[in-house]
Amino acid sequence: MKKYVNFIIIFLFVSTNNVYSDNLNILFKELLNAKNLQQAEKLEDQIWNKWTRHPNNDYLTNKLENGTYSMYHQQYRMALKLFTDVINEDPKWAEGWNKRATLL
C-alpha cells in the first residue's frame, strides 16, 4: 500500500484546478480508501489511463504512446524526440515532462 500512498503524493504535486483534475481527485480519494489490493490496482490503472491521455488532443496522446513504446524498446533518441515534441506542443501537460524526465 506504500506504493499507492506515494502515488497519491505525486498526484498532489501535479494536479491543476479543472474538470480533468477533479475526475482524478475522485479516483485518488477512492484509491486512498481502497478495500483491497485488487481494487487499488484497478483504480491505479484508471489513474494512469487519465494521466497518459491528453485532455483534448488525441494527436499528443498518440505521440506520448509512441514515445513510451520507443523508450521501452530502447529507441531512446526517438523517445526523446517524441517527448520533446509533446512538451513543445503543450508545455502545460505534465505527462510529457514526466516521460522525458523518466527517459533522461
How does pLDDT run along the chain (104 residues), one tens digit per residue? Answer: 666 555 555 555 555 445 567 788 999 999 999 999 999 999 999 999 998 999 999 999 999 999 999 999 999 999 999 999 999 999 999 999 999 999 99
Residue type, 5: V
* Three-state secondary structure call for residue 73: coil
Question: Are 31 and 9 a contacting pair, CB within 8 Å?
Answer: no
Nearest to 39 by CA among 83, 4, 7: 4
Give the pLDDT score at 12.
53
pTM (2 decimals)?
0.69
Q: What are phi and psi of 97, to 5 degrees?
A: -65, -45
Q: Supply the pLDDT for residue 17.
A: 47
pLDDT at 14: 52
Cell match 489490493: residue? 37
